[in-house]
Structure 1
Amino acid sequence: MQLEIRPDPTEVGRARRWARSRLAGSGIEAGDPLAETLILLVSELVTNAVVHTGLPAVLRLSLPCVAAESAPVRLEVADGSGRAPVPRCAGDDATGGRGLALVDGLADRWGWSAEGAGKRIWCELDRCTAPRELGEGCGASAPPYGDLAYEAV
């Protein structure tokens, strides 16, 4: 499944809605912590593509069917910029610069690769039933975000 993204910040909301609409068919319900994490990752990676490249992008989701519960969920965003993604150290008052840190903390695996003149940034989430601690694998008993409150809309 893929969605073409225009270089427009309003596309981030459309990408979230598109991803959310595809979750139920794969057995990932809207209130599931995996769904909320996935939507947050979609938001971060699409925002990065739109804001930092100014070029169209493609969002791809690989959502294994319910029977393949051990298969990870994979999210990819490909864009036409050859610039490597660079994690930043955002100051306390900065309004941005935390996207890749969130991806690193929430995804079980992530990376990027050159693709033609552009690049593909990807991340994977293991399909666990138990919420996990930020930065830990499946099976943790603590809420996935500690005391952090957020809402993906």
Structure 2
Amino acid sequence: MQVLHVQLEVGADPAEVGRARRWARSRLAGSGIEADEPVAETLILLISELVTNAVVHTGCPAVLRMLLPGVPEDAPRTVRVEVADTSARPPKQRHADGDDTNGRGLELVSGLADRWGWQPEGAGKSIWCEVDRCDPDAPAVAFDGVSYGDLDVDADVDTAYEAV
């Protein structure tokens, strides 16, 4: 199996969110996830929320990473998105009321992603989410030694990297 690991450095400017979305769309298409697939728009929305949270709430640059399924039929069908920033402050899921313009980001991530979480990374943290492209009854895959479901693929995964 093959997993493609791509990453983009994102500046602290909220205008960078649009650039991150465009970059992510092109990487998704390159991995065989076409723009008209529902999962593509879900992933773009998740990326937009996570990158926005990172640059707006920390005021610092961030790194967007995607672990994409490879082209072979037996490749993992889970897409993992990670956004790392330099703030050690843990994410706080809020609940927005009525006309509030903020406070829906992590609630949206929680509702759209199959799994999400965060972990410390260096002096900061990484917030991640995963979206499965497969049958809901199929076993999930493992990334970075973390197993989800019954399938552990670490020994059989070839990873290609791209950093921008």
> What TM-score does the superposition give when structure 1 sets the normalisation length?
0.82
Q: Does 1:119 align with 2:146?
A: no
Aligned to 1:38: 43
Q: Does 1:97 align with 2:103?
A: yes
Between Structure 1 and Structure 2, the one with more strand by share is 2
Larger displacement relative to structure 2 (68-77 or 99-108): 68-77
In structure 2, distance between residues paired with 1:73 and 1:138 = 17
Aligned to 1:151: none
Give me the CA root mean square deviation: 1.5
* Displacement of 1:15: 0.3
Aligned to 1:18: 23
In the alignment, is the contact (CA less than 8 A) between 2:70 and 2:76 conserved in 1? no
Q: 2:71 aligns with which of 57, 66, 75?
A: 66
The correspondence of residues 41-56 of structure 1 with structure 2, limited to 5 A, is 41-56=46-61
Alignment CA distance shift 1:112-1:16 (3 Å) = same
Aligned to 2:83: 77
Query: Which structure is richer in relative contact order (CA contacts within 8 A, separation 6 or more)?
Result: 2
Structure 2: state its 5+ residue gaps. Answer: 1-5, 139-164
* Displacement of 1:66: 2.7
After superposition, what is the alpha-carbon deviation per residue over 1:76-130, rounded to whole angstroms, capped at 9, x for unaligned?
000000000000011101001100001000000000001121000000000137x
Aligned to 2:10: 5
Following TM superposition, the consecutive aligned residue runs of length 4 or more in structure 1 with deviations greater than 6 angstroms are: none
Structure 1: state its 5+ residue gaps. Answer: 130-136, 140-153
Alignment CA distance shift 1:97-1:138 (3 Å) = farther
Q: Percent identity?
A: 70
